[in-house]
Structure 1
């Protein structure tokens, strides 16, 4: 493979990450495009980067090496903000970079950090193991074990699936409730109006996602579509050297990453649409707030792979560009009685609300 020139490449390091080690901050940021604001390193090249875009949003890049687990679990990555991911991985007294501090309500809350660390550790422990330790090399193709590992790091079984060679639209769904769902329901609320939620209260969120799946690709796959946010990844299955993974959002300069053989770069950019507002807020119908399909608020998202043209070169490329997210009440019809569904009224007088402090404020 030929190594393509790039404005800002991620170096794959072999620095062992010890608990309590400080993240390495970037030196001189790029003039345009994402700027590295924090980094946590792990063993054998595994690391996590936080990159601030021109618009102030923060992307997360997770580098993993086959057959190891990544430093952050994909489920934890899906459920938490970049600031919360930082708090879970960084040393306890490491301050949040300014771009992340704006997202966090508990920058120096040690108990909250410990809780986030435990949650990530539990999610990592739940990932599958037992992948072949030999890895890929000069033999062309992506093995079943490498495909399964890629799917586990990406957080979606369709990534690397040989039956999923498509660019199509998918509608993945999530559930919200008080216990046993993908996300919690109404964990906090505004005003003094609190929801009287029951275990039978359930909200379902459905995303609209334009999806790329390339499971054993030779030469240069590419993917481009407007949307609210995007999740891209490239795994380098086989060949004689690194491939170049390009990604771009909006008008900023393209960002290029060198992904070595046996390596995977998992990249989340833009403000994710999952989880929805229902995870935290229910009162006054706030649970209904999703993300509409809107050309006015869409930003272009693109990815491509270069230096993948050698005889034995193969990559897995996955992309999910999120264009909309809707939420609906799927509670049991008898959860609050025949005339009441999950609360969406304009005040706190409904029987599925109660008020603290002796007052019932209106919206």
Structure 2
């Protein structure tokens, strides 16, 4: 059997970030990924734009990832505004002169730069086209069965293989899954007026539109959230029809709209694992917590979880002391639950309220926005969550 200290299944952003964090603690890491190396090194633009908090930027800077992003890949989020239904009034968020609320970066750019950094770490071995088919505990290690390859014995196995994690199931850990019955259709658009770094969330009746400001002053990512039954209807629109839909749903606040990119669709499913660790096993990223994107916390939570786990593990010696390893994983679970559970539950409540078009819900939506608008502590709390370092 091949030997390594830690194996991470899934070379997505959370898995790559965690691998770099652990490698710099002198821990040998093997990354197991189903995709080929060419796909990892040159990821396609999948249409997804990631909103990053200041804390996430600080972590990416410490890894040497943020510095590798090109200027045209970083959009600055100066403010955000929320509109409900057909209302002309809005709830507005800004940092009150303390700098931007956050930043918006393409998912593909984050993947590419993390891959570059991970490739420079001597303690990281990347094994592509590798699928884990089974596992078992043996002599204070976890043994992985890998399709078409020798078994791999590790002191700790970490699953970072998506919210539908097969490895999580193999470890016997279940998850609460919430299928929202909705699909997000994303596509870039060019607008007549500059976006001024303002993210706009329009909770219309029957659908939701988000306009996320990108690095170019007149280019935004349009995210149309619609019931799953209408997803193909939006996907089948011509480019001009899609642009017209965005212009209408945004009440032409940025003037005329033109399409400037391919559209993608993503089903919306929330996931929260019943536990984040087992014996010599842990979950990070979407395998632990998969978020609805409306509050833009998914990647930020995944990165925070990876940072928390790496800090709890501290050194390679802890991996080979069963009692200390168990305590470290337990502390990681407590910390990550404290950070993720309120955000996960709160996000789901927001989705429930602002996608419910029955009259009582409509009235409550308006009341919530009015209270938030006239109660500054609510807005300050949200801004603090985004801008804290």
Alignment TM class, shorter chain as reference: under 0.3
- What TM-score results when the alignment is normalised by the length of structure 1? 0.24
- What TM-score results when the alignment is normalised by the length of structure 2? 0.23
More helix by proportion, 1 or 2?
2
